[in-house]
């Protein structure tokens, strides 16, 4: 029997299988909205970002080239799902924002049925879900630290997050934005209220979070 590859390699293989299912689901969801997956991802990215994002920021967040992002944004503009806001002559400052029509397309999509990938997460025990969520937070942060992806709107990089502020084992963390305690399984991956902490605070917060 062939020796198994390293555990790192096999976990990557596993994530790749799940990503395939998610990509297929994205294709189907996008097609049902008359969009392609990149266009749908742009709408999802702009959700809750009232000030919009520049083309460069959109490209970085989606991991696509700027020309690809520009083409998809132009297609969304033609469908009147996004528009561009400019505050002057600086073209780099132009922000892409979602229109009310874009928001309604997204709301209809969000109301659609749960996919197989999310179903598979639902099949895990509560403790397994929590462990997986924390592992994902750690992996995403690792990718951020290596500039593989931009800083995501996760609690661990948010200026409102105080890890292990409470002795309550179920809800040890504190969100200063809503002034409430919350637990590991409530950690956000993409929070609208997120505000990026400065690098010093981010490092201190992460140290506290990791120590547990």
Which of residues 140 and 175 has its CB atom nearest to ligand SF4 in the complex?
A: 175
Among 16-24, 107-115, 122-130, 155-163, which window interacts with ligand SF4 (CB under 6 A)? 155-163
Q: Which residues contact 152 (CB under 8 A, 6 or more apart)?
A: 140, 144, 189, 190
Query: Per CB under 6 A, does 141 bind ligand SF4?
Result: no
User: At which residue do the structure tokens 């297609």 appear?
Assistant: 75
Binding of residue 140 to ligand SF4 (CB under 6 A)? no
Q: How far is the CB of 174 from ligand SF4 (least distance, A)?
A: 8
Q: Is there binding between residue 194 and ligand SF4 (CB under 6 A)?
A: yes
- The whole-angstrom separation of Cα 36 and Cα 51 is 24
* 13 touches ligand SF4 (CB under 6 A): no
| 160 in contact with ligand SF4 (CB under 6 A) | yes
Q: Are strands 161-162 and 95-98 parallel, antiparallel or unpaired?
A: unpaired
Q: At its nearest, how many Å lie between ligand SF4 and the CB of residue 177? A: 4
> Rounded distance, CA 54 to CA 57, Å?
5
Beta strands 161-162 and 173-175 are: antiparallel
Closest approach of Cβ 99 to ligand SF4, in Å? 25
Give the rounded distance of the alpha carbon of 18 from its chain centre: 16
Query: Contact with ligand SF4 (CB under 6 A): which of 66, 193, 203, 204?
Result: 193
Question: What is the per-residue binding string for ligand SF4 in 162-181, x denoting contact by CB under 6 A?
Answer: -------------x-x----
Sheet holding 180-182, edge to edge: 161-162, 173-175, 180-182
**C-beta closer to ligand SF4: residue 194 or 202:** 194
Nearest C-alpha neighbor of 161 from the set 125, 135, 193: 193
Site residues (CB under 6 A) for ligand SF4?
155, 158, 160-161, 175, 177, 188, 191, 193-194
């Amino acid at each position: 029997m062939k020796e198994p590859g390293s555990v790192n390699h096999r976990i990557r293989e596993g994530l790749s299988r799940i990503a395939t299912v998610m990509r297929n689901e994205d294709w189907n969801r996008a097609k049902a909205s008359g969009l392609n997956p990149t266009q749908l991802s742009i709408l999802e990215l702009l959700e809750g970002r009232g000030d919009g994002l520049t083309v460069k920021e959109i490209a970085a967040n989606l991991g696509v080239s700027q020309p690809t992002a520009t083409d998809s944004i132009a297609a969304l503009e033609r469908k009147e799902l996004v528009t561009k806001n400019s505050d002057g002559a600086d073209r780099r400052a132009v922000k892409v924002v979602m229109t009310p029509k874009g928001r309604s397309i997204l709301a209809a999509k969000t109301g659609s049925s749960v996919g197989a990938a999310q179903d598979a997460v639902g099949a895990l025990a509560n403790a397994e879900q929590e462990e997986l969520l924390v592992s994902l937070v750690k992996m995403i942060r690792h990718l951020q630290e290596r500039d593989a992806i931009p800083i995501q709107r996760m609690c661990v990089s948010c200026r409102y997050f105080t890890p292990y502020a409470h002795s309550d084992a179920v809800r040890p963390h504190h969100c200063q934005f809503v002034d409430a305690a919350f637990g590991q399984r409530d950690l956000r991956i993409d929070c609208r209220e997120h505000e990026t902490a400065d690098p010093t605070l981010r490092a201190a917060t992460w140290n506290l979070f990791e120590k547990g």
